[in-house]
């Protein structure tokens, strides 16, 4: 058995790593290869290329890299058509993966798309393209399969693998010990995103927010997990310009430990917000993109909330500040309220427990079983 997998960014790498483990348990002699990140490689997936080549945000940011991305897709298409793996599994990155999956499916290869595109948020008509591309769509959230009803594609809800991965409790004290943070003082974790484009827009307002908070709570410390070493200079520049005197702790990776160590988390919208919910930490969510990307999103999006916790909870409980509102005037008071008011924290975390229970479905094993059914094994 041979499985080809294509992940497009850090969150896809996390999902891909769990899926490789589950498929290997079902097919011990199988081989795995494709576009990988570190989690997938650790799980035993050989790397044809890396997610760094695809990890680009926003329309304005992707245009300069488009020729290389198209060249990469052509290389993978030729490779997989020649190799004929038993199944091709695209993990998220729909703009890249769906076109590749469609060509491979047309050539007779079974295709699976893991992580439903957000057809519930914008461009619902994409379901027709997805149906042409994938034999099977594996959905991570319970409300998603119904959007595929009446279309010629099978969609299954599998839960979210992070719900199992983050189920084991780690105390705030243990996390602070691991990161060498003060035990007694309050701590804010700041997660400005996993891509350079995100730090370009969020590093400065997040650092300015930290400075605003420290003026009011001088005992605060700030821990900043950076997704990769190349992002550190971008954040250090913002610190030097706006808040060099604060109690900073910058670490490479270790985002979960940082969230566990924190009293409140300020972070970019994305998969990290789901991790924060699963770790039971109160949060404030923000995001900025280029003006062109923001304008296009506003034209297309059909929902009034963007963070995963607010989409999954019974009611929106997490403050969201996007684009022009992603500034210290909005972010500072929102974080301070969570630091100072137990009732504000409880409004969030009280709803998080039900979401954790719903998402804990043995996602990787469920995905592996669905893929085995698809290929008749």
- Domain 2-163+360-374, CATH homologous superfamily name and number: Glycogen Phosphorylase B; (3.40.50.2000)
- Nearest to residue 270, comparing CAs of 257, 252, 254, 289? 289
Query: What is the pLDDT at residue 58?
Result: 47
Whether the Cβ atoms of residue 185 and residue 176 lie closer than 8 Å to each other = no
306 alpha-carbon distance from chain centroid: 13
Q: Which H or E run includes 214? A: helix 196-216
Cα–Cα distance measured from residue 51 to residue 10, given in angstroms and rounded to the nearest whole number? 7
- Nearest to residue 118, comparing CAs of 142, 94, 101, 138? 94
The 3-state DSSP composition of the chain as helix, strand, coil percent (nearest 5) reads: 55, 15, 30
Q: Which residues of the chain have pLDDT under 50?
A: 57-59
Classify strands 320-322 and 283-287 as parallel, antiparallel or unpaired.
Answer: parallel
User: DSSP label at 320?
Assistant: E
- Nearest to residue 328, comparing CAs of 211, 191, 216? 211
Longest Cα–Cα distance of the chain, Å, equals 63
**Segments making up each domain of the chain, as ranges:** 2-163+360-374, 172-359
Tokens at residue 28, please?
């011990």
In the sheet with 187-191, reading across from the earlier edge strand, the strands are 248-252, 221-226, 187-191, 264-268, 283-287, 320-322
* pTM exceeds 0.85 for this model: no
Burial classification of residue 335, based on how many CB atoms lie within 10 Å of its CB (0-12 exposed, 13-18 middle, 19 or more buried):
buried
**C-alpha to C-alpha distances, 245 to 172, 210, 216, 248, 348, nearest whole angstrom:** 25, 11, 14, 8, 31
Radius of gyration, CA atoms only, the chain: 21
So what's the architecture of 172-359 in CATH?
Answer: 3-Layer(aba) Sandwich (3.40)
- Nearest to residue 188, comparing CAs of 27, 37, 332? 332
Cα–Cα distance measured from residue 58 to residue 162, given in angstroms and rounded to the nearest whole number? 25
Query: What is the pLDDT at residue 62?
Result: 64
Do 2-163+360-374 and 172-359 agree at the fold level? Answer: yes
- Nearest to residue 6, comparing CAs of 93, 71, 100, 90? 90
Instruction: Write out pLDDT tens, residues 356-375.
Output: 999 999 999 999 999 999 99
Cα–Cα distance measured from residue 240 to residue 67, given in angstroms and rounded to the nearest whole number? 36
Query: What is the pLDDT at residue 53?
Result: 79
Cα–Cα distance measured from residue 27 to residue 10, given in angstroms and rounded to the nearest whole number? 25
Tokens at residue 329, please?
């005037």
Instruction: List 111's β-bridge partners, or say none.
Output: 88
At 87 the three-state DSSP class reads strand
161 alpha-carbon distance from chain centroid: 12
Query: What is the pLDDT at residue 8?
Result: 85
Residues 132-156 as b or e (16 or more Cβ within 10 Å = b): ebbbbbbbbbeebbebbeeeebbbb
- Nearest to residue 278, comparing CAs of 363, 210, 377, 205? 363
Query: What is the pLDDT at residue 299?
Result: 52
Query: What is the pLDDT at residue 306?
Result: 73
Q: Can you say whether the dihedral through the CA atoms of 294, 296, 298, 301 is positive or negative?
A: negative
């Amino acid at each position: 058995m041979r499985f080809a997998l294509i992940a497009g960014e850090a969150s896809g790498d996390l999902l891909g790593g769990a899926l490789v483990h589950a498929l290997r348990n079902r097919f011990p002699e199988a081989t795995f290869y494709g576009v990988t990140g570190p989690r997938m490689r650790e799980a035993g997936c050989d790397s044809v290329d890396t997610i760094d080549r695809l990890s680009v945000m926003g329309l304005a940011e992707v245009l300069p890299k488009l020729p290389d991305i198209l060249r990469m897709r052509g290389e993978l298409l030729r490779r997989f058509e020649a190799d004929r793996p038993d199944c091709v599994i695209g993990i998220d990155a729909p703009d890249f993966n769906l076109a590749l999956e469609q060509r491979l499916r047309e050539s007779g290869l079974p295709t699976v798309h893991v992580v439903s595109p957000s057809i519930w948020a914008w461009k619902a008509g994409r379901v027709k393209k997805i149906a042409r591309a994938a034999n099977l769509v594996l959905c991570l959230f319970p409300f998603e399969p119904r959007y595929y009803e009446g279309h010629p594609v099978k969609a299954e809800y599998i839960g979210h693998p992070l719900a199992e991965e983050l189920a084991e409790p780690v105390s705030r004290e243990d996390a602070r010990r691991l990161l060498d943070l003060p035990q007694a003082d309050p701590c804010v974790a700041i997660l400005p995103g996993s891509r350079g484009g995100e730090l370009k827009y969020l590093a400065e307002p997040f650092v300015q927010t930290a400075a605003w908070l420290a003026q009011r709570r001088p005992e605060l410390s700030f821990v900043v997990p950076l997704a990769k070493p190349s992002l550190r200079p971008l954040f250090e520049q913002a610190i030097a310009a706006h808040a060099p005197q604060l109690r900073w702790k910058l670490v490479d990776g270790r985002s979960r430990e940082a969230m566990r160590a924190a009293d409140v988390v300020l972070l970019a919208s994305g998969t990290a917000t789901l991790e924060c919910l699963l770790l039971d930490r109160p949060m404030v969510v923000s995001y900025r993109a280029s003006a062109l990307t923001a304008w296009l999103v506003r034209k297309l999006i059909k929902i009034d909330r963007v963070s995963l916790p607010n989409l999954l909870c019974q009611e929106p409980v997490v403050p969201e500040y996007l684009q022009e509102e992603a500034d210290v005037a909005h972010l500072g008071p929102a974080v301070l309220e969570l630091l100072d008011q137990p009732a504000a924290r409880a409004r969030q975390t009280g709803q998080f427990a039900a979401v954790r229970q719903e998402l804990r479905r043995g996602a990787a094993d469920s995905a592996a079983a669905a893929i085995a059914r698809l290929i008749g094994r």
